[in-house]
Structure 1
Amino acid sequence: MPRSRRATVDLLVVLAAVFGLQQVAGAVGFGIEWFALATPVRRPWTLVTTVYAHASLGHLLANAVGFVLVGLVLERSTSRIRFHAFVLATGMVSAGVEFLVGAALGTPVAVLGASGALLAGFGYLLAGNRLAEGVLARIEIGRRGSVALLLGVAAAVTLLTAGPGVAVVAHFVGFAIGAVAGRVGVLQGGSRPGTVGGVPRQ
């Protein structure tokens, strides 16, 4: 297997394994609350499992397809460790913010799925490429303008992915974090500025 595909395949295997574990657990009486980050927090490990667990096979497949598209590009710019750390960190933060917003609003919430991390990947690719650099270099909007533009794009992407039962806050936060990470190049791991994965950004 080509080295460039290992990180994405790793992730897909983990997603499938956790979903399989969910099915086995459900068959013996352990429900989704053993995997989802839910109110009240009784199982601290769910901050991690919430990133990899999914509510249904369709939910899993949708995120898996997204990670095939995003992951195969992202992993070219980084190591397997950084790739997985990025997925886990952005997934945990986006799910955590969704959870905290729900708690603050007094709304019981159960968050699960890799879509926050997936949106972070999309944000990273959108903000961390040569085209984005060229556009931002030509329009002088300053730091505040750049932040406003980033939040505007994140809001637009969130609206496009919104739907019943969708963790829209997690989507917004994930995309925004990914976009900032893309501008900084946190996954590049020594690649020269202006490149993703040691090749010209596209």
Structure 2
Amino acid sequence: MSINFQVDSTRDATSYSRTAATDTGKQGDGTFAASLESATSALFASAEEERDFAANLTKRLQAAGIDTSKPIALTTDSTGAVIAKDGTTDKDKIDAVFAADPVLANEYRKVASTETLRALGTVYQPYARDYQAAGNDAARASVWQRYQGPFRAVEAAGNELTLSDGTLTSRAVEVAQAAVSTMSAAQGLPAGLVAQVERSNQDSLMDAVGGGKD
């Protein structure tokens, strides 16, 4: 998955909402809003859909004789196929469940994409705040240098979900939360030390993600 961010510091959430409302109003009959809702539903999973998927996946794996009480780490390969990560117990059985059901695999990818977007949003919020607060191009470039590591780490972990006792967790969300927590804790420190802490955090995140790849 590859998601690119472009920041327009001249627009904020208020201006976006106002523009969106105006555009929707031009439709007159709500067609635009309905189309947007339909497209969003097709691309991204709701919280209820994620819970239902986790429950259904648990049942499917149990029916295949797989122990779901222990964490099952899942990802996708270079072709997009959903697989268990190397070293996972019953990997062959798990891979076979997804290979035999394209719908189940598509649901997995939908949930993973949704969680990745949520993770990117977690990092994007403080990034946008710092970017807009920067007073010049050099300062904005510095902000991007600080945040590009977490963005890349989140994207690299985007296809990884773990199923444990009927609950799915996202590696991308975990990476995002860890990055933002560390960067927030560094606020108020001398600039040089902040950069060192953030660089160390970014390296650790990338190493963790890279070390978990197949």
- Fold shared by both chains (TM-score > 0.5): no
- Structure with more relative contact order (C-alpha pairs < 8 Å, separation 6 or more): 1
Larger Cα-atom Rg: 2
